[in-house]
A and B are shown apart, each in its own frame.
Chain A
Amino acid sequence: MKNRLKDMREAKGWSQGELARRLGVSRQTINAVETDKYDPSLPLALRMAKLFGVAVPELFIDRWEPEEE
């Protein structure tokens, strides 16, 4: 899933290691999320959104739309 994690992290001036430390995960996990290799769990996505002060859909981009009735 596409996401804006890298943009938001860089806007804060944080390194991947710094963000990983704040979220309590490994730097590898941050790198994997930023490069679309891994979609984080819902709790981690919520923590990321809370850390950047945005809603989850602003951080993770999903183009899916419900079918019209």
Chain B
Amino acid sequence: MPPDMHMSRWRNFASSGVAAGIVSLGVTLLASWLANGVPPRALLAIPADPRVAVALLASVALVGLTSRDTPFSWRRFANFAIFAAAASAFALLAIAGVRTGAFGAMGVSQWVAVSAGLVLVFFASCLGLVQAVARSGWTLLEPEQIELLRERARLNVLSATAIAALGLALIVLSLAGPESVLPPAAALAGALVLLAAATVPSVAAWRLMDELDRTLTYETGNLSFYLVLLLGGGWATLAHLGFIPAAAPLDWLTMLAVISFPATYIAAGRRRLLSK
């Protein structure tokens, strides 16, 4: 790699990392103030907490590393800030829902399933929102991003619908059971309807995909199998040997619902499709 390119990658890493640090710190302080009523004076002590400091450093490193090939721009900074604020607001609402008992009495498996379902719904909403922004031609997006989003509008809307339905199905299933808010029969009916609502747009999306999309989908499926084998198989092995408790059926459903998302990132990353 030429020295000037090496330097520019470091500049991109530093500028994007610092921007991520500022946004993450701002969001953390705002969330602490809004959710826990931490007085403004005590807020300054929060970044000194080792756990918060590690999380902030992780955010800086992650954003810096993933942005090292892309120069800093205020437009990207604004996009990142909006996304971070929306994600935080969504997370705060979810935490408030759990704390106030809106989801009924919840065990760890249910809590994890509801959280995973909410994350899926959040990402689907973001995808829908970005699509709407591209349609409106709002200047927050790069012109080439707008063009790409417009080209793939139907595919993205179908994908967002499928992801949202899958997330909602997970939430509905996790809300069923003793001391929970949904009776099992109603949850089963709801989950079946939502799984159909996830399957139909997925099939329609498949028909709109070109060969690169389909290749990535095959690779994602392949990787998902090995991730389930690794995580689920590892868990089952340890549980069989008595080291840890066995996975609940809901844990398996959560794993199966979300495993394709890290697999998608790995598949795209292996082909260097996540960088420009």
**Chain A residues near B (Cβ < 8 Å):** 17, 24-29, 32, 35, 37-38, 40-41, 44
Contact A38 B151 (CB under 8 A): no
Q: Which residue of A lies closest to B210 (CB)?
A: A25
Contact B152 A26 (CB under 8 A): yes
The verdict on A38 contacting B271 (CB below 8 Å), with A26-B210, A29-B212 known, is yes
- Cβ of B152: which chain A residues have Cβ within 8 Å of it? 26
Q: Which residue of A lies closest to B208 (CB)?
A: A26
Q: How far in angstroms is the closest Cβ of chain B from A41?
A: 5
Q: Which residue of B lies closest to A24 (CB)?
A: B210
Partner of B211, one of A17, A25, A35, A37: A25
Contact A26 B151 (CB under 8 A): yes
The SS class assigned to the A binding surface is loop
Contact A38 B210 (CB under 8 A): no
The verdict on A27 contacting B271 (CB below 8 Å), with A32-B212, A40-B211, A41-B211 known, is no
The verdict on A37 contacting B210 (CB below 8 Å), with A26-B152, A27-B148 known, is no
Q: B198-216 interface mask toward A, CB cutoff 8 Å, 1 = contact, 0 = none?
A: 0000000000001111010
Contact B213 A37 (CB under 8 A): no
Bound CA span A27–B147, Å: 10
Q: List 14 A-B residue pairs with CB atoms under 8 Å apart, sorted by A's residue number.
A: A17-B147, A24-B210, A25-B210, A25-B212, A26-B151, A26-B152, A27-B147, A27-B148, A28-B148, A29-B211, A32-B273, A35-B272, A40-B211, A44-B211
Q: Count how many pairs of residues, one from A and one from B, have CB atoms less than 8 Å apart in the complex.
A: 33
Contact A28 B147 (CB under 8 A): no
Indicate the size class of the contact surface on chain B.
10 to 19
Partner of A37, one of B147, B148, B151, B272: B272
Bound CA span A32–B271, Å: 9
Q: Which 7 A-B pairs have the closest CB atoms?
A: A29-B212, A25-B210, A26-B210, A37-B271, A37-B272, A29-B210, A41-B211
- Cβ of A32: which chain B residues have Cβ within 8 Å of it? 212, 271, 273
Q: Which residue of A lies closest to B212 (CB)?
A: A29
Q: B259-274 interface mask toward A, CB cutoff 8 Å, 1 = contact, 0 = none?
A: 0000000000001110
Contact A38 B212 (CB under 8 A): yes
Q: Which residue of A lies closest to B211 (CB)?
A: A41
Q: How far in angstroms is the closest Cβ of chain B from A32?
A: 6
- Cβ of B147: which chain A residues have Cβ within 8 Å of it? 17, 27
Contact B211 A27 (CB under 8 A): no
20 further A-B pairs in the complex, CB-CB below 8 A; given A29-B210, A37-B271, A41-B211: A17-B147, A17-B151, A26-B151, A26-B152, A26-B210, A26-B212, A26-B213, A27-B147, A27-B148, A27-B151, A28-B148, A28-B212, A32-B271, A32-B273, A35-B272, A37-B272, A37-B273, A38-B215, A40-B211, A44-B211
